[in-house]
């Protein structure tokens, strides 16, 4: 209860009137020029005699922003214009004691209502601000904490909890305990003591207050939670109070209802305090001082719970879209990589490495990245760009994509069969020569001639076998010396004449060309096709209507094969033309391509050797030195078991 102080100017004739007031009023003289000192629980009205009192206290009262209403006693009615606007009332002299008491009472009521109006205005402002803050928060956990702390602040609640409605498969709806806050006792002990986790699930039924609210959608307000209405079936669970040395007194439990009417949770507020900042020292103090929730707090809490439900639904929706998209990206990347099992997991590993690099750069407080910061959205942008960087391989023919040797397996088999046919042709040719000689009856010298032909045939067959072996060796994608390439070309022009007199070579000039690729397994045209994956990636990613936060994804992915010195592709960009995120991805991409152990045509390179190769590229001006140094220091390949995780 607030104290009612009646101020009056020192020495004023009204002093005797004040002395005769009922005991609900405290009289207090004010010296001219002094500012009346009021305690936090005091309201004041200034009583004065307009005829004899100095106007100074009046000015003083007015200068408090009209905070102290003035009641002036006057002998004669004044002209309306002479009355100061700050005066609450004018009473004619002499004034009867009951009239003065009523006027004072009304003035104090006026103060109370003005305070309440001010409080309501402030709370509405706060509620608006809360709405804005809630709608801006996307992190669901942070949102719960925000909802509860704001709800407690606006209703002066010492404690509170949030429960969420959940519907497990095949089981009835229930409430899951989500979060608790308490100004007066530490919750850490009670969390670890298992009190809150023991009550982690509450059935949606009439036996608990939260369950009842979730079931019926009604708001429950109890002035004393230990004494619920006799008609109610619910009872409070006092385990927390016993364990924590607390007393749950007043309680306000409101449903969190979405605009479509679904109750998605329950907001439970406990122990309304005379003022927000108050901490209760003991259960006895709570017993004494916790207040029932005033009507306006009840409607504020209901309004906030609805706002919270909308924010929560939005946040969940946002999260589910994000998870859906993440799943879609993941499934798409897995599908693309399944076309080339030898590089499976590459995109996931590159994403892990690049995100680790970006996060390390973001954390750096010294060095070249000290001023660089990536927001969570920008990190997500890097992750998606990395996951999708090779997506354009979808546009590369599969036989090129998975090509491990210079010639496709069927082509090599064709060469073998061609050689075999040629050998049979040669054998037939020499056999026919022998038969013809015998048929002509030229037996003399036949034996010697036949032996010479046999030697010739054996030499030819041996030559063919040697050529086949050379072709087999040249088919491997290892680095080929120049003389070996010349040898292959000579095979393409070495003709053998078969039994019907036709000339054949073991390999065609086109095959010789393919077999004399000096490095790797790809022809120039095939190499161009592989390189085109970057453009396919860009074209594909450009078609996705990315949100504003993710709009750089196509650009970041497009530059992952560009090099700082302009030696990269597809555009030969240089230096700062290449986004930093892409430069990070390039290092991760090359590192993974070198160290991946699942490429049959290329043995995995040990980490040290891979770093040496990257370092050489850096010295050549192809890679970003700062990014490379960060990569070496961070060792992101050790940060998590990405190799096994991404291959599962
Ligand atoms: Fe690539
Ligand atoms: Fe790649």
Q: What percent of the chain has pLDDT over 90?
A: 50
Q: What share of the chain is helix, strand, coil (3-state, %, to 5)?
A: 55, 15, 35
User: Residue 347 C-alpha to ligand 1 middle, in angstroms?
Assistant: 9
The runs of H, that is alpha helices, within 375-408 are 376-387, 398-401
Residue 373 sits at φ, ψ, to 5 deg, of -135, 135
Tokens of 22: 């009922």
Which helix (H) or strand (E) segment is 59 a member of?
A: helix 56-63
Task: Please tell me the distance from the alpha carbon of residue 260 to that of residue 339, in angstroms, as a whole number.
Answer: 46
pLDDT of 373: 95
Among the bound ligands, name the one nearest to the CA of residue 590.
Answer: 2
The total number of residues shown for the chain amounts to 648
Instruction: Give 106's pLDDT tier (boundaries 50, 70, 90).
Output: very high
User: Residue 495 C-alpha to ligand 1 middle, in angstroms?
Assistant: 43
Query: Would you say 596 and 643 are in contact if contact means Cβ atoms under 8 Å apart?
Result: no
User: Residue 534 C-alpha to ligand 1 middle, in angstroms?
Assistant: 6
Look up tokens 């450009």; give the residue: 542
Look up tokens 């026919």; give the residue: 432
What b-and-e string marks burial along 62-94, b requiring 16 or more CB atoms within 10 Å of the CB?
Answer: beeeeebbbbbbeeeeeeeeeeeebbbbebeee
Q: Which of 72, 69, 59 is nearest to 111 (CA)?
A: 69
pLDDT of 35: 73
pLDDT of residue 192 exceeding 50: no
Name the pairing type of β-strands 42-49 and 70-74: parallel
Q: Which of 192, 391, 157, 417 is nearest to 274 (CA)?
A: 157
Q: How many other C-beta atoms lie within 10 A of the C-beta of residue 449?
A: 14
pLDDT of 642: 43
More confident of the two residues 32 and 545: 545
Query: Which range, 65-79, 443-457, 575-589, is most confident?
Result: 575-589
User: Residue 640 C-alpha to ligand 2 middle, in angstroms?
Assistant: 19
Cross-strand pairs, 215: none
Cross-strand pairs, 174: 166, 203
Q: Which of 488, 491, 557 is nearest to 516 (CA)?
A: 488
More confident of the two residues 631 and 405: 631
Q: Is 262 helix (H, G, I), strand (E, B) or coil?
A: coil
User: Residue 364 C-alpha to ligand 2 middle, in angstroms?
Assistant: 26
User: Residue 324 C-alpha to ligand 2 middle, in angstroms?
Assistant: 24
Q: Which of 203, 192, 579 is nearest to 385 (CA)?
A: 579
User: Residue 589 C-alpha to ligand 1 middle, in angstroms?
Assistant: 7
Structure letter (DSSP) for residue 606: P
Q: How many other C-beta atoms lie within 10 A of the C-beta of residue 448?
A: 9
User: Residue 588 C-alpha to ligand 2 middle, in angstroms?
Assistant: 9
Residue 599 sits at φ, ψ, to 5 deg, of -105, 115
Task: Please tell me the distance from the alpha carbon of residue 562 to that of residue 573, in angstroms, as a whole number.
Answer: 6
Query: Which range, 28-32, 180-184, 578-582, 603-607, is most confident?
Result: 578-582
User: Residue 220 C-alpha to ligand 1 middle, in angstroms?
Assistant: 61
Among the bound ligands, name the one nearest to the CA of residue 559.
Answer: 1
User: Residue 562 C-alpha to ligand 2 middle, in angstroms?
Assistant: 12
User: Residue 561 C-alpha to ligand 1 middle, in angstroms?
Assistant: 6
Q: Which of 366, 369, 355 is nearest to 627 (CA)?
A: 369
Among the bound ligands, name the one nearest to the CA of residue 350.
Answer: 2
The mean pLDDT of 602-617, rounded to a whole number, is 89
Q: Which of 160, 155, 209 is nearest to 182 (CA)?
A: 160
pLDDT of 160: 94
Query: Would you say 261 and 244 are in contact if contact means Cβ atoms under 8 Å apart?
Result: no
User: Residue 390 C-alpha to ligand 2 middle, in angstroms?
Assistant: 5
User: Residue 325 C-alpha to ligand 1 middle, in angstroms?
Assistant: 22
Task: Please tell me the distance from the alpha carbon of residue 617 to that of residue 635, in angstroms, as a whole number.
Answer: 18
Q: How many other C-beta atoms lie within 10 A of the C-beta of residue 429?
A: 18
Which helix (H) or strand (E) segment is 611 a member of?
A: helix 607-619
The mean pLDDT of 279-293, rounded to a whole number, is 93
Q: Is 268 helix (H, G, I), strand (E, B) or coil?
A: strand
Q: Which of 3, 336, 308, 371 is nearest to 164 (CA)?
A: 308
Query: Would you say 151 and 178 are in contact if contact means Cβ atoms under 8 Å apart?
Result: no
User: Residue 576 C-alpha to ligand 1 middle, in angstroms?
Assistant: 20
User: Residue 318 C-alpha to ligand 2 middle, in angstroms?
Assistant: 30
Task: Please tell me the distance from the alpha carbon of residue 540 to that of residue 356, in angstroms, as a whole number.
Answer: 26
Among the bound ligands, name the one nearest to the CA of residue 353.
Answer: 2
User: Residue 3 C-alpha to ligand 1 middle, in angstroms?
Assistant: 78
Cα dist from 546 to 535, 541, 555, 561, whole Å: 18, 9, 12, 22
Contacts of 119 (CB under 8 A, 6+ apart): 296
Where is average pLDDT lowest: 263-272, 361-370, 439-448, 564-573?
Answer: 439-448
Tell the burial category of 639 from Cβ atoms under 10 Å away from its Cβ (0-12, 13-18, 19+).
middle
User: Residue 183 C-alpha to ligand 1 middle, in angstroms?
Assistant: 55
Q: Which of 424, 449, 425, 423 is nearest to 436 (CA)?
A: 449
User: Residue 383 C-alpha to ligand 1 middle, in angstroms?
Assistant: 15
User: Residue 532 C-alpha to ligand 1 middle, in angstroms?
Assistant: 9
Contacts of 521 (CB under 8 A, 6+ apart): 403, 404, 405, 406, 477, 601
Query: Would you say 589 and 534 are in contact if contact means Cβ atoms under 8 Å apart?
Result: no
Task: Please tell me the distance from the alpha carbon of residue 8 to that of residue 14, in angstroms, as a whole number.
Answer: 7
Q: Is 32 helix (H, G, I), strand (E, B) or coil?
A: coil
pLDDT of residue 143 exceeding 70: yes
Instruction: Give 647's pLDDT tier (boundaries 50, 70, 90).
Output: very low
Q: What is the pTM of this model?
A: 0.65
Q: Is 635 left (phi over 0), alpha (psi -120 to 50) or beta?
A: left
Among the bound ligands, name the one nearest to the CA of residue 592.
Answer: 2
Q: What is the DSSP string of 136-201?
A: H---HHHHHHHHHHHHHHHTTEEEEEEEEEE--TTS--EEEEEEEEESSS-SHHHHHTTHHHHTSE
Task: Please tell me the distance from the alpha carbon of residue 57 to that of residue 55, in angstroms, as a whole number.
Answer: 6
More confident of the two residues 319 and 359: 359
Q: Is 482 helix (H, G, I), strand (E, B) or coil?
A: helix
Q: Which of 142, 134, 138 is nearest to 315 (CA)?
A: 138
User: Residue 41 C-alpha to ligand 2 middle, in angstroms?
Assistant: 71
Where is average pLDDT lowest: 197-211, 255-269, 340-354, 577-591?
Answer: 197-211
Tokens of 489: 């070309």
User: Residue 323 C-alpha to ligand 1 middle, in angstroms?
Assistant: 25
Tokens of 76: 């004669």
The mean pLDDT of 62-70, rounded to a whole number, is 67
User: Residue 343 C-alpha to ligand 2 middle, in angstroms?
Assistant: 9
User: Residue 391 C-alpha to ligand 2 middle, in angstroms?
Assistant: 9
Q: Give the full edge-to-edge strand order of the sheet including 263-272.
A: 201-203, 174-182, 157-166, 263-272, 251-257, 220-222
More confident of the two residues 517 and 82: 517
Which helix (H) or strand (E) segment is 222 a member of?
A: strand 220-222
User: Residue 159 C-alpha to ligand 1 middle, in angstroms?
Assistant: 55
Task: Please tell me the distance from the alpha carbon of residue 292 to that of residue 270, in angstroms, as a whole number.
Answer: 10
Look up tokens 């102080």; give the residue: 5
Among the bound ligands, name the one nearest to the CA of residue 345.
Answer: 2
pLDDT of 193: 45
User: Residue 641 C-alpha to ligand 1 middle, in angstroms?
Assistant: 23
């Amino acid at each position: 209860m607030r104290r009612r102080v009646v101020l009056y100017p020192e020495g004023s004739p009204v002093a005797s009137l004040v002395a005769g007031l009922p005991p609900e009023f405290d009289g207090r003289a004010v010296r001219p020029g002094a500012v009346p000192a009021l305690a936090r629980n005091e309201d004041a009205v200034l009583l004065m005699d307009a005829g004899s009192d100095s106007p100074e206290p009046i000015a003083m009262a007015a200068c408090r922003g009209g905070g102290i209403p003035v009641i002036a006693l006057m002998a004669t009615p004044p002209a309306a214009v002479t009355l100061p606007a700050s005066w609450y009332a004018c009473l004619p002299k002499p004034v009867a004691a009951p009239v003065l008491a009523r006027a004072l009472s009304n003035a104090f009521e006026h103060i109370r209502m003005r305070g309440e109006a001010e409080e309501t205005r402030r709370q509405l402002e706060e509620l608006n601000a809360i709405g804005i803050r809630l709608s801006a928060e996307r992190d669901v956990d942070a949102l719960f904490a925000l909802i509860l702390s704001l709800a407690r602040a606006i209703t002066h609640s010492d404690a509170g909890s949030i429960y969420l409605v959940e519907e497990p498969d095949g089981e009835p709806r229930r409430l899951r305990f989500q979060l608790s806050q308490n100004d007066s006792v530490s919750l850490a002990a009670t969390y670890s003591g298992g009190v809150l986790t023991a009550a982690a699930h509450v059935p949606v039924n009439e036996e608990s207050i939260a369950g009842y609210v979730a079931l019926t959608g009604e708001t429950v307000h109890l002035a004393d939670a230990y004494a619920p209405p006799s008609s109610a079936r619910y009872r409070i669970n006092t385990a927390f109070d016993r364990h924590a040395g607390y007393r749950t007194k007043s309680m306000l439990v409101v449903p969190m209802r979405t605009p479509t009417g679904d109750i998605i949770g329950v907001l439970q507020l406990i122990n309304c305090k005379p003022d927000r900042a108050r901490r209760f020292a003991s259960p006895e103090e709570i017993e004494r001082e916790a207040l029932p929730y005033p009507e306006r707090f009840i409607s504020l809490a209901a309004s906030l719970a609805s706002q919270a439900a909308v924010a929560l639904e939005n946040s969940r929706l946002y999260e589910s879209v994000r998870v859906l998209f993440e799943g879609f990206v993941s499934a798409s990347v897995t599908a693309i990589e399944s076309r080339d099992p030898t590089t499976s997991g590459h995109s996931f590993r590159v994403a892990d490495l690049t995100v680790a690099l970006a996060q390390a750069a973001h954390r750096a407080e010294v060095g070249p990245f000290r001023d660089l910061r990536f927001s969570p959205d920008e990190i997500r942008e890097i992750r998606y760009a990395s996951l999708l960087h090779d997506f354009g391989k979808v546009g590369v023919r599969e036989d090129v994509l998975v090509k491990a040797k210079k010639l496709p397996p069927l082509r090599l088999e064709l060469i073998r069969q061609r050689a075999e046919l040629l050998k049979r042709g040669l054998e037939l040719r020499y056999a026919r020569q022998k038969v013809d000689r015998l048929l002509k009856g030229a037996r003399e010298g036949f034996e010697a001639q036949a032996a010479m032909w046999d030697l010739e045939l054996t030499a030819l067959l041996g030559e063919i076998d040697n050529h086949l072996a050379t072709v087999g060796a040249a088919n491997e994608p290892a680095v080929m010396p120049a003389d070996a390439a010349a040898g292959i070309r000579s095979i393409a022009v070495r003709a053998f004449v078969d039994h019907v007199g036709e000339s054949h070579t073991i390999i065609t000039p086109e095959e010789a060309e393919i077999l004399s690729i000096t490095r790797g397994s790809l022809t120039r045209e095939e190499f161009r096709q592989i390189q085109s994956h970057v453009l396919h990636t860009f074209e594909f990613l450009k078609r996705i209507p990315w949100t504003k936060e993710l709009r750089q994804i196509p650009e970041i992915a497009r530059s992952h094969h560009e090099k700082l010195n302009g030696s990269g592709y597809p555009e030969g960009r240089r230096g700062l033309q290449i986004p930093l995120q892409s430069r990070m991805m390039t290092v991760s991409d090359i590192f993974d391509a070198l160290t991946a152990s699942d490429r049959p045509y290329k043995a995995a390179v040990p980490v040290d050797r891979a770093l040496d190769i990257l370092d050489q590229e850096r010295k050549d001006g192809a890679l970003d030195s700062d990014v490379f140094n960060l990569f070496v220091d961070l060792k992101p390949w050790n940060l998590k078991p990405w190799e096994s995780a991404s291959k599962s």
